A = this chain, B = another copy of it.
Amino acid sequence: MKFGGTSVAGIDRIRNVAQRVKAEVDRGNEVAVVVSAMAGVTNQLVDYADQAAKLYDLREYDVVVSSGEQVTAGLLAIILQDMGVAARSWLGWQIPLRTDAAHGNARIEAVEGAEIVRRFAEGQVAVVAGFQGIDVQGRITTLGRGGSDTSAVALAAGLAADRCDIYTDVDGIYTSDPRIVTHARKLEKITYEEMLELASLGAKVLQTRSVELAMKHGVRVRVLSSFENTPGTLVVDEEEIVEQAIVSGITYSRDEAKVTLNSVPDRPGVAARIFGPLADTAINVDMIVQNVSVGGETTGLTFTVRKSDLERAVKVLEGLRDDIGYAELIADPDVVKVSVIGVGMRSHAGVAQSMFRTLAEKGINIQVISTSEIKISVLIAEEYTELAVRSLHSAYGLDAD
């Protein structure tokens, strides 16, 4: 069981968590619980580090920010004991949960869960501080924001758990955002691959890396609500889903901005001269389209960056104007990326065609297209977001009855 920051924000909420843990124990299950810091605590600690120095030693940053989960773990153990449930807290270094030395964003290498398993046999619940591990030097590491999801999945894999339940403030994975699509349905099951696409498209339910890890180790992950009693959504292997829909969901991301460079000299190495400096300043480029240059000497190049990176990207590119030799730079923050996701696409042709036709029927112009094996994304003007998402949700037969 894993509980995030809003689920443990204050003693009363931690008591609610303890009740859910007790219910699992009463059902005869052996339970390890991974907890995040109380909501707001990690931000406060990060803010301290930012105030302390502009550039800080990430090993020390990890010492500071890992303390929030430590507090929650101790408190939950106290409350469980108070309810008559045997429990003890485990910090990353105590398990140990071993990671590489990439402080601030470490990768888990091994979870030594033997002692926890031994104590399961004595009826003891393991309360584990999420987000943290220990490197080979014996220093505390952290797993990056949202890392407690990854802690939970890694622990579930290490303990060979039957299931990893991620309790959060939503009650499952939906076919689309219910705030936009009133007919959105909660999915009973979703595949790892689809969940990965959802996570990387900005659905904040699960950290991307936790889904990768679950897929790699075959950990059955369930996403469900800390506050309601609904079954949630199970994230599983494709084989477990008997009747797979062709399309599982429609997502959108407003955190996109479009950059177009016109009349770029069409010669080898120009892409490297554009995208190299952007990468060097930690600007992620997502969709890229280069116009086909028919015999001409120049071409056009369009790509997307995160909206928050747009200003910096423009600055970098303006500084490179002479070097690249483009004629015009157009920046457009008013775009949205709409995606259709489904593992069923692999075996069904015509999914992309349906998407393009549906959008065309509504008079929505497609600016950029990108595809993966199980996803088609298009960039459109932001004002069409709701219209596009709702139309596609209907077109693929996802609307609830």
Contact = CB atoms under 8 A, between A and B. Distances in A.
A356 B42 CA distance: 60
Interface stretch (A56-64, A152-160, A303-311): A56-64
A57 B124 CA distance: 14
Interface residues of A, number: 39
A323 interface: no
Contacts of A49: 74-75, 78
Contacts of A45: 71
Interface string A44-80: 0100110111111101111110111011011101110
Contacts of A57: 77-78, 81
Given A67-B71, A71-B67, A93-B93, A60 B48 contact: no
- Top 9 A-B pairs, shortest CB-CB distance: A63-B74, A64-B74, A53-B82, A67-B67, A52-B78, A11-B51, A56-B78, A60-B77, A60-B74
7 contacts: A14-B52, A48-B75, A52-B79, A53-B78, A53-B81, A54-B82, A94-B138
Contacts of A75: 48-49, 52, 60, 64
Contact of A77 (B63, B71, B140): B63
Interface of A: 11, 14, 45, 48-49, 51-57, 59-64, 66-68, 70-71, 73-75, 77-79, 81-82, 88-89, 91, 93-94, 138-140
Contacts of A89: 60, 63
A67 B64 contact: no
The majority secondary structure among interface residues of chain A is: helix
Contacts of A94: 138-139
B78 A71 contact: no
B71 A56 contact: no
A178 to B, nearest CB: 35
B11 A82 contact: no
Nearest to A54: B82
A140 B50 CA distance: 28
Contacts of A52: 11, 14, 75, 78-79, 82
